[in-house]
Amino acid sequence: MKKIFLCVCFLTWATLAMAQVRLTAKTDKTDLALDDELTLTVQVSGISGTMVMPQLPSLPAFNVFSRETAQSITNGHTTLSFRYIMIPRMVGRTTIGPVTFKYGGKVYQTEPINIRIYRSAVPASAQTQRQPAKTAGTQQAAQADASAQMPPLERELAAQAYNHREPYFLVSAVSNKTPYVGQSFTLAVRFYYADGFYEAAYSNPTVSNLFMEDNGRSQGRQTLHGTVYNYEEKRYTLSGAGAGPASVGEASVTYRVESLGNSLFDRFFGGAVVSKPVTVTSQPISLSVRALPPGQPASFYGAVGSGFTMTAQLDKSETEAGDAVTLAVMVKGPGNLKTTSDLVFPSFLGFTSYPSVPQSGVLQNDSTRSYKLFQTVLVPQASGTYTLEGISWSYFDPTAKVYKTLTARPLSLKVLPSANPERKLDFGSQTPLGNGIETLQQDIRYLKTDTDTSLSLLARLPEWKWLHALVFMWLAVCLFMACIGKKTAAKKHAYQHAKTQLKKAKTYEHISDALSGYIRNKWNISTASLPLKDIVTALQKRGVSADSLRTFATLWKELESVRFAPVAPTDTALSAFVTRAAQLLKTWEKHV
Amino acid sequence: MKKLILSLLFAAVCMCGQAWASTAEELYQNGQYAQALSAYEQQLKDYPNNPFLYYNIGNCYFKMGSRGLAIANYYRAFELNPRDADIRHNLELALSGSGESLVPPGMPQALHRSFFVLSVTELKGLLWACAWLFCLLAGVWLLTRKAGKLTVVAGVLLLLVAGWFYIRHSWQSEPLAVVASPKAELRSGPGTNFPASATVTQGHLVQVTDQKGTWQQVVLRGEGLKGWMEASALEHI
- The H or E element spanning position B206 is strand B205-212
User: What is the Cα–Cα distance from B45 to B18, expressed in whole angstroms?
Assistant: 17
User: Measured between alpha carbons, how far apart are the two ends of chain B, in Å?
Assistant: 48
Chain B residues within 8 A of A481 when measuring between CB atoms? 142-143
Q: Kindly determine whether residue B139 and residue A349, on different chains, have CB atoms separated by under 8 Å.
A: no
Percent of chain B topping pLDDT 90: 44
Structural contact between residues B217 and B209, judged by C-beta atoms closer than 8 angstroms: yes
pLDDT tens for each residue of A28-73 = 778 887 777 788 888 888 777 666 778 888 888 888 767 777 777 7
User: What is the Cα–Cα distance from A581 to A505, expressed in whole angstroms?
Assistant: 11
User: What is the Cα–Cα distance from A105 to A233, expressed in whole angstroms?
Assistant: 41
Could you report the predicted ipTM of this complex, rounded to two decimals?
0.80
pLDDT tens for each residue of A461-513 = 888 889 889 989 998 998 888 887 776 777 778 888 899 998 988 888 899 89
Structural contact between residues A229 and A192, judged by C-beta atoms closer than 8 angstroms: yes
> Which of B124, B129, B143 lies nearest to residue A481, judging by beta carbons?
B143
User: What is the Cα–Cα distance from B86 to B95, expressed in whole angstroms?
Assistant: 14
Residues 163..222 of A with a Cβ closer than 8 Å to B: which? none
pLDDT of residue B114: 92
> Which of B50, B135, B142 lies nearest to residue A453, judging by beta carbons?
B50
- Residue A174 predicted with pLDDT over 50: yes
Q: Kindly determine whether residue A482 and residue B202, on different chains, have CB atoms separated by under 8 Å.
A: no
CA angle centred on A224, ends A221 and A225, rounded to 5°: 150
Task: Answer positive or negative: Cα dihedral of B128, B129, B130, B132.
Answer: positive
Q: Kindly determine whether residue A475 and residue B138, on different chains, have CB atoms separated by under 8 Å.
A: yes
A399 close contact with B: CB closer than 8 A = no
Q: Kindly determine whether residue A474 and residue B143, on different chains, have CB atoms separated by under 8 Å.
A: no
Structural contact between residues B194 and B207, judged by C-beta atoms closer than 8 angstroms: no
User: What is the Cα–Cα distance from A476 to A499, expressed in whole angstroms?
Assistant: 35
Give the number of A-B residue pairs with CB atoms closer than 8 Å.
Answer: 107
pTM of the model: 0.43
pLDDT tens for each residue of A178-233 = 999 988 888 999 999 988 887 788 899 989 989 888 888 888 888 888 888 888 88
Chain B residues within 8 A of A451 when measuring between CB atoms? 21, 43, 47, 50, 52-53, 56
User: What is the Cα–Cα distance from B186 to B230, expressed in whole angstroms?
Assistant: 9
pLDDT tens for each residue of A508-542 = 889 989 989 898 888 888 887 788 889 889 888 88
Nearest CA in chain B to A453: B50
**DSSP codes, A269-325:** HT-EEEPPPEEEEPPPEEEEEBPPPS---TTEEEEESS--EEEEEES-SEEETT--E
Chain B residues within 8 A of A468 when measuring between CB atoms? 128, 131-132
pLDDT of residue A135: 46
Higher pLDDT among residues B72 and A198, named by residue: B72
CA separation (Å) from A398 to A151, A179, A403, A404?
18, 8, 9, 10
Q: How many CB atoms lie within 10 A of CB A49?
A: 10
Q: Kindly determine whether residue B143 and residue A453, on different chains, have CB atoms separated by under 8 Å.
A: no
Chain A residues within 8 A of B55 when measuring between CB atoms? 447-448
pLDDT of residue A429: 39
> Which of B24, B43, B97 lies nearest to residue A349, judging by beta carbons?
B97
A565 close contact with B: CB closer than 8 A = no
